[in-house]
Chains A and B, each alone.
Chain A
Amino acid sequence: MTDTTQASFSVAPQGVGVVSPQCARFTELLHLRSGGVIADYELVYETYGTLNADASNAVLVCHALSGSHHVAGTYADQPNNVGWWDNLVGPGRPLDTNRFFVVGVNNLGGCHGSTGPSSINPATGKPWGPDFPMVAVVDWVHAQARLADMLGIHQWAAVVGGSLGGMQALRWSMTYPDRVRNCFVIAAAPKLTAQNIAFNDVARQAILTDPDFHGGNYYEHGVVPRRGLRLARMLGHLTYLSDDQMAEKFGRDLRGDSLKYSFDVEFQIESYLHYQGDKFANYFDANTYLLMTRALDYFDPAREAEGDLSAALAVAKANFTIISFSTDWRFSPARSREIVYALLRSGRNVSYAEIDYGAGHDSFLLDDPHYHAVMSTALEGVTV
């Protein structure tokens, strides 16, 4: 081995570099959990790494509420647009693209390129808007299975996801037990609590009651329900952070030098939340937000087994890795343990790590060394 080669090995692992999204069109009817049907739809996706000869090294990454198919890398024309889970994917990273062929897909109903409420409904020539059928997590799984067929992937080496993405991974293991060898369910829950649904409802009400919502037909009015979207994101964002982390990051720090005794922004936390809300309202589709939060609310795979999650999971064949974070109060460690105990009861292979990390629900997107060591180690055990 030459010195040059050694040098190239000693540098910190680099990401996947410049990537491009691809689009797949499906014309076979997709029957949805809600009773609705989609006849013609597109899924936008990205892939990283190389599919091996027997297609045994494919890993599906499922995205959360506001995520997309852009999991890793950057775009040639947008060098700052880094994938949402870039720290996890790449050569030498936990989802090592030297071993794995990683696939990210924008969920049906999304607003990043896959068919969704802001897409044109071929039947009317206008955006779907409120007529877009209600999609459930299981519908995403069925849609992703068709993409897998198209890519020649019969069985995923692993399906990986955090939050709502973790729920999709769990659903995959139950809906297509023979197509998932390993399942990574991170910062997720087997179903939402009343509190979780309540937060989603407040977020939706903010959008639904925005005068610019126009019953979901805001596209034809040339407006977006910005105020609603902004409030929805501010509320949602709060639930992703931990109290300690906010105290540490913002405390009671003021935006200006002294109190103004007004309802304008006084505290840094307000400024931060407003910024997050504005940023989100600039790119995210309100109808998609409504659909995604509803899919979360409806998610309850145990319902098919009269509420018995272990009975529902008995069909699964995958090896499971369940991960939670100590300061996540949106989907607390206790919620992950519900999944773990159900898997134990149904005799599945399961490992569970509770990561002591301070960033709340959002911890799953960050690169705590122990968290990533658990991911790397578990993924090294995935045979390809």
Chain B
Amino acid sequence: MSADVNNHSPNDSNPLGRHDLEVIASWIRPGERILDLGCGDGALLKYLREEKGVLGYGVEVNPAKVLAAIANGVNVIQIDLEQGLVGFDDAQFNHVVMSLSLQAVQNTERLLREMLRVGREAVVSFPNFGYRKHREAIAVGRMPVSETLPYQWYNTPNVRFFTIADFDALCAERGIEIRDRRAFDEQGRPVTDDLNLNGSIAVYRLARQSA
């Protein structure tokens, strides 16, 4: 299920190679316990361990990526997220991260709930289907293909198609507190105006709404 969009090459200005990961890293304090769902080759966990001394665990279902994560020296647990996070305790982690994979799971809502159960905060990033370029593609009658949605409709690992506005609505409806929300355009520049129209990738910091 985890999307191959995790494999962009790093560059000098951005050691993680992806701007959403930089934001995610900025929300994590040294020494935290982190769970990274759909961790791919474990690049984020490796960075967080080296830079912030976190105790991190990745979850990955793809055997080749599990192997790559082991090669990166990070903790990786091979389980299928479609089965939820049974086996993990409540509030076991400071942050549960899911970067660019939420759109690739079937049971999105349950997984969000599970993330907020086992983590004190959840951090998710996802491609915004409401991005201007994506809307333009739909307007001329084609499914969008872009930097953040690099697949054709017939080979995409993505199974859930939603916008920043959709996600905001879900959070409001399900009592999920949005503690922070950022968006970036295709060049990785932060977007400040009309995130749903101008943001190619969105990053959220979430918590259960306190009663």
A350 CA to B66 CA in the complex, in Å? 12
Q: Is the CB of B87 within 8 A of A337?
A: yes
Minimum distance in angstroms from A160 CB to a CB of chain B: 15
30 contacts between A and B (CB under 8 A): A337-B87, A340-B77, A341-B87, A344-B77, A344-B92, A347-B33, A350-B57, A350-B75, A351-B66, A351-B69, A351-B70, A351-B75, A352-B76, A352-B78, A353-B66, A353-B70, A353-B78, A354-B78, A354-B79, A355-B63, A356-B63, A370-B63, A370-B67, A374-B67, A374-B70, A377-B67, A377-B70, A378-B70, A380-B71, A381-B70
- Chain B 99-123 per-residue mask, 1 if CB under 8 angstroms from chain A, else 0: 0000000000000000000000000
A142 CA to B75 CA in the complex, in Å? 29
Q: Is the CB of A351 within 8 A of B76?
A: yes
- Chain B 150-193 per-residue mask, 1 if CB under 8 angstroms from chain A, else 0: 00000000000000000000000000000000000000000000
Number of contact residues on B: which range applies? 20 to 34
Residue ranges of B at the interface with A (Cβ–Cβ < 8 Å): 33, 55, 57, 63, 66-67, 69-71, 73-79, 87-89, 92
- Tell me if A22 is interfacial: C-beta within 8 Å of chain B: no
- Tell me if A50 is interfacial: C-beta within 8 Å of chain B: no
- Tell me if A81 is interfacial: C-beta within 8 Å of chain B: no
A349 CA to B63 CA in the complex, in Å? 19
- Tell me if A39 is interfacial: C-beta within 8 Å of chain B: no
Q: Is the CB of B77 within 8 A of A352?
A: yes
Q: Is the CB of B67 within 8 A of A373?
A: yes
Q: Which A residues lie within 8 Å of B87 (CB)?
A: 337, 340-341
A383 CA to B70 CA in the complex, in Å? 14
Residue ranges of A at the interface with B (Cβ–Cβ < 8 Å): 321, 337, 340-341, 344-345, 347, 349-356, 370, 373-374, 377-378, 380-381
A378 CA to B67 CA in the complex, in Å? 9
Q: Which A residues lie within 8 Å of B92 (CB)?
A: 344-345
Minimum distance in angstroms from A322 CB to a CB of chain B: 9
The one of B66, B76, B79 in contact with A337, judged by C-beta atoms closer than 8 angstroms, is B79
Minimum distance in angstroms from B45 CB to a CB of chain A: 11
Minimum distance in angstroms from B23 CB to a CB of chain A: 26
Minimum distance in angstroms from A338 CB to a CB of chain B: 8
A356 CA to B55 CA in the complex, in Å? 28
Q: Which B residues lie within 8 Å of A354 (CB)?
A: 78-79
Task: State whether A341 and B78 are in contact (beta carbons under 8 Å apart), knowing that A370-B63, A373-B67 are contacts in the complex.
Answer: no
